Amino acid sequence: MDDSTLQPATEATVPVVKLDQAVAVLGHFPALAGASLLVQRGEIVLLRGPNGAGKTTLLRVCAGLVPIIRGEGSVLGLDLKTDREAVRSNVGMLGHQNGLYLDLTVAENIRFWGATVGATESETSAAMERLGVADRLAEIPVRKLSAGQKRRTALACLVARRAQLWLLDEPHAGLDAAARDELDVTLRAAAGAGATIVVASHELERAGSLATRAVDVVAGQVNGGEQ
Amino acid sequence: MTTTDSNPASVEVDPSGRFAGTGTRGTRILGSMTVVAMVWLVAFGLGFSPADRDQDEAVRIMYVHVPTIWVAYMSFVVTAVASGFYLFGRSKALGWDRLAGASAEIGTIFVAATLVVGSLWGRLTWGVFWQWDARLTTTALLFVTYIGYLAVRRLGGSHQQRARRSAVVGLLAVLLIPLVHWSVRLWRSLHQEATVLDTDGDIDMDGLMLFSLFVGVVAFTLFYIWLVLHRTRVMAMEDMMDDRGLDLALASRRAEVVPTQKLEEN
Amino acid sequence: MSIWRVACLVARKDLLVERRSRVVLNQVLPFAGVTMVIFAFALDSDAVLERVAPGLVWLATMFSLLVLVQRTFAIETDDGALDAMRVAGVDPRAIYLGKAMGLAIELLVLEIVLLFAAVILYRQTVPVDGIALLAITLLSATCGLAAVGTLYGGLAAGFKGRETLLPLLTLPAVAPVLIGATRAVEAALGTAGAVVSDGWPWVGLLLVFAATFGVGGSLAFGPLIDE
């Protein structure tokens, strides 16, 4: 692709996420009302806060999906105001929706997502193995899966993509205990391999043990986000 | 106020900081000129110019019909050019977007006027309100296309999002017009040849009729410019109101902190 | 990854979804068939039907186009897959071309079925010397329709509750295709004494239309689906 003149910064000194008084609106509602957040490479940051506090919007802003209309922001050194497209290919996001094709099987979904970003067949298979969707589940249409199985499939798609920044919105929701442990192992491994993770979660003890740092998102702002 | 939008400098603000209106000295002079030109148009169109040999008194409709379609086409050209300036310019100035939007709104109204006036003329001259000929059909499709453009403008989102989306749709409309025209031309053409432009140099209109038409074009062009100036300023104010609304919304959003913290203390 | 490879992946995925879900086969095709039948109720005359049959085929195609476009983007928005593709940094031009190719193939099948319906219901005959013109007309008109439909379908898909925008934007834009394809098919079928040679200028129009909107659409799609 020819639009890749903008490269993400790889030096450890450049913060992975840097938001300064960022404002983002959904329609006319200011979901982010001046949020500041600084995330360094290799961190696992937990976003705490009540529903409607702006956690999801914060993640979508970091993914380059929602523009910031006031304030400043950058991800991996790429400006969120001008280079949103360049930001996207370097982040992986798992939101409320899984981004799966419900009529296709698990394997077809993961292969499709892997192929669009140029992952090899073995990388795709490895991702499926790691999330435990390689055997019994592989040939079942996603529509027939449980919520937890869908989420595991979506995570496998994310693993296949090798993103530098992972943005996870309530990743533990709907997973059974074994799947949660599996998820935590996957996330720690990803962080160990150099990925930076921002997690929004209600399940504080679970996500808290995973995270290296926790911040509170309240009323569209981040308390203690810049430490 | 820190906004992505550069505040419109052309809007008069009185010392107390409230808007005085969209009128300036310039628009008032322009407005007066428009009124004078319109009075001239009435005088020449209905009074001094003669009735036509073939079309009789119905020819007087031309003095409105031709200027309105002229203004409509001009306004769509302005929309396209302004969209292009917005999309390909470096500054991404919202002024271009507002000009494009204002021009399209006014152009759409003028196309509607053209269609109404034209079908009245058609009833008098051809005996029917509507003919499926190339120019009429193109104009009707143009009308619908720009209604679609205006609907896209109202989709919401931030001002820059609105500007980018509508600039793209505005330029696509320009791609479409020649294709529509080509297809309906191939399909059929019964319309009388363009009376003024298409003749090979010799103008077969009476001098006074031609002058009346000229007065009409001048009057409606002035009217268009006057309308665009006011409309862009109103749009600038609306955008400022949105920003002000955002300030209020931000303040109330930030105020949500208090009850939540109280809850946590309990 | 070249744009075309990703586009082919997207198109293949869409056709695979259709093979599994059979929504087009079980719902859109019957819908198109019903329109052909109710046209006959409205016109109520064999002679008129014979005369206007090519136009009715294309009218039924336009209506089905709107349904098909909504379906093809429902696949993407059901579970946030379009968002996921944007986050994955998939080139919007590739998404556009892929969706348009998938749509074009479905449309082409639909048009052939409708032509058969016209032969049976509206007493059309297909002369041998008109077959080449008919085939090229179908191909070029389909490309134009798919190009416009995908473009505005993507725009409307981004706004929940604003799907009504799709027909308003699409129908005026495809008017040249309706005119051109109807005249060309009339020439190919010899409706009302038309001869085959009358059809070729219309094919020119259809080809220029398809090329213009194919190129314009692939450039415009990115800004239009972006929030």
For B40-88, what is each residue's pLDDT tens digit?
A: 888 887 888 777 766 777 778 888 888 999 999 999 999 999 999 998 8
A65 Cβ under 8 Å from any chain B Cβ: no
The per-residue pLDDT for B242 is 83
> Which of the residues A69, A81, A222 would you substitute to probe the B interface, choosing the one with the greatest number of B C-beta atoms within 10 Å?
A69
Instruction: Write down the domain spans for chain A.
Output: 11-90+163-227, 99-161
pTM, two decimals, is 0.86
Q: Which residues contact A218 (CB under 8 A, 6 or more apart)?
A: A49, A50, A53, B256, B257, B260, B261
Instruction: Flag if A67 and B161 touch (Cβ within 8 Å).
Output: yes
Give the distance from residue A50's alpha carbon to the nearest chain B alpha carbon, in angstroms. 9
Instruction: Flag if C83 and A100 touch (Cβ within 8 Å).
Output: no
Q: Which residue in the set A65, A67, A115 is minimally distant from C87, CB to CB?
A: A65
The per-residue pLDDT for B90 is 80
Give the distance from residue C122's alpha carbon to the nearest chain A alpha carbon, in angstroms. 37
B266 Cβ under 8 Å from any chain A Cβ: no
Structure tokens at B148: 């679609």
Residue B249 lies in a domain: no
- Distances, alpha carbon B6 to alpha carbons A93, B91, B243, C86, in Å: 33, 10, 11, 30
The per-residue pLDDT for A68 is 87
The per-residue pLDDT for A75 is 87
Cα nearest neighbour of A95 on chain C? C80
The per-residue pLDDT for A134 is 80
The per-residue pLDDT for A1 is 38
Residue B8 lies in a domain: no
The per-residue pLDDT for A150 is 84
Structure tokens at B120: 């009245």
Question: For position B104, which CATH number holds?
Answer: 1.20.120
The per-residue pLDDT for A101 is 92
Instruction: Flag if B257 and A70 touch (Cβ within 8 Å).
Output: no
Cα A46 from Cα A202, distance rounded (Å): 10
| A30-49 exposure pattern, b = at least 16 Cβ within 10 A, e = fewer | bbbbbbbbbbbbebbbbbbb
B264 Cβ under 8 Å from any chain A Cβ: no
pLDDT in tens, A141-195: 999 988 778 888 888 888 777 778 888 888 887 777 877 787 787 778 777 777 8
Cα C178 from Cα A129, distance rounded (Å): 51
Instruction: Flag if B155 and C159 touch (Cβ within 8 Å).
Output: yes
Ramachandran angles phi, psi of A221, nearest 5°: -130, 165
Give the distance from residue A23's alpha carbon to the nearest chain B alpha carbon, in angstroms. 9
Number of domains chain B contains: 1
The DSSP letter of residue C16 is: H
The per-residue pLDDT for A3 is 43
The per-residue pLDDT for C88 is 81
> Which of the residues B246, B258, B261, B265 would you substitute to probe the A interface, choosing the one with the greatest number of A C-beta atoms within 10 Å?
B246
**Contact list, B260 vs chain A (CB under 8 Å):** 50, 53, 218-219
Structure tokens at B247: 């300030």
Ramachandran angles phi, psi of A225, nearest 5°: -75, -20
Cα B62 from Cα C103, distance rounded (Å): 46
Instruction: Flag if B183 and C169 touch (Cβ within 8 Å).
Output: no
Instruction: Flag if C162 and B155 touch (Cβ within 8 Å).
Output: yes
Residue B112 lies in a domain: yes
Instruction: Flag if C227 and A66 touch (Cβ within 8 Å).
Output: yes
Q: Tell me the helices (H) and strands (E) count for chain B, helix number first.
A: 7, 2
Residue B179 lies in a domain: yes
**Contact list, B145 vs chain C (CB under 8 Å):** 172-173
pLDDT in tens, A191-211: 777 788 898 887 777 777 778
B163 Cβ under 8 Å from any chain C Cβ: no
Strands A196-200 and A165-169: parallel
Residue B264 lies in a domain: no
The per-residue pLDDT for B5 is 43
Q: Which domain holds residue B150?
A: 22-197+205-232
Average pLDDT of the segment spanning A90-96:
83
Under 8 Å between Cβ of C147 and C217: yes
What fold, for A11-90+163-227?
Rossmann fold (3.40.50)
The segments of chain C whose pLDDT lies below 70 read 1, 227
Under 8 Å between Cβ of C177 and C209: yes
The DSSP letter of residue C131 is: H
> Which of the residues B94, B160, B256, B262 would you substitute to probe the A interface, choosing the one with the greatest number of A C-beta atoms within 10 Å?
B256
Cα nearest neighbour of C173 on chain B? B176
The per-residue pLDDT for B257 is 64
The per-residue pLDDT for A208 is 73
Q: Which residue in the set A30, A53, A221 is minimally distant from B246, CB to CB?
A: A30
| A68-105 exposure pattern, b = at least 16 Cβ within 10 A, e = fewer | bbbbebbbbbbbbbebbbbbbbbbbbbbebbbbbbbbb
Instruction: Flag if C172 and B179 touch (Cβ within 8 Å).
Output: no
Cα nearest neighbour of A69 on chain B? B4
B7 Cβ under 8 Å from any chain A Cβ: no
Instruction: Flag if A218 and B246 touch (Cβ within 8 Å).
Output: no
Q: Which residue in the set A97, A115, A117 is minimally distant from C79, CB to CB?
A: A97
The per-residue pLDDT for B258 is 54
Cα C90 from Cα A76, distance rounded (Å): 19
Tens digit of pLDDT at every position of chain B (266 positions): 333 444 444 444 455 555 567 788 888 899 999 999 999 888 887 888 777 766 777 778 888 888 999 999 999 999 999 999 998 888 788 899 999 999 999 999 999 999 999 888 888 888 888 887 778 888 899 999 999 999 999 887 778 888 989 999 999 988 888 888 888 877 764 444 444 444 343 445 677 888 888 899 999 999 999 999 999 999 998 888 888 888 888 888 888 765 544 444 43
B32 Cβ under 8 Å from any chain A Cβ: no
The DSSP code sequence of A8-66 is PP-STTS-SEEEEEEEEEETTEEEEEEEEEEE-TT-EEEEE--TTSSHHHHHHHHTTSS
Residue B146 lies in a domain: yes
Give the distance from residue B148's alpha carbon to the nearest chain C alpha carbon, in angstroms. 5
Cα B111 from Cα B117, distance rounded (Å): 10
Q: Quick one: CA torsion of B12, B18, B20, B23, rounded to 10 degrees?
A: 40
Instruction: Flag if A218 and B250 touch (Cβ within 8 Å).
Output: no
The per-residue pLDDT for B61 is 85
Under 8 Å between Cβ of B237 and B22: yes
Instruction: Flag if A25 and B246 touch (Cβ within 8 Å).
Output: yes
pLDDT in tens, C162-198: 788 999 999 999 999 999 999 999 999 888 778 888 8
The per-residue pLDDT for B20 is 61
**Residue percentage of chain A with pLDDT more than 70:** 93
ipTM over the 0.90 cut-off: no
Whether A40 has a pLDDT exceeding 90, the answer reads no
The per-residue pLDDT for C203 is 93
Instruction: Flag if B242 and A28 touch (Cβ within 8 Å).
Output: yes
Q: Which residue in the set A69, A219, A221 is minimally distant from B4, CB to CB?
A: A69
B80 Cβ under 8 Å from any chain C Cβ: no
Give the distance from residue B56's alpha carbon to the nearest chain C alpha carbon, in angstroms. 36
Instruction: Flag if B179 and C205 touch (Cβ within 8 Å).
Output: yes
Q: Which chains touch B (3 or more CB pairs under 8 A)?
A: A, C
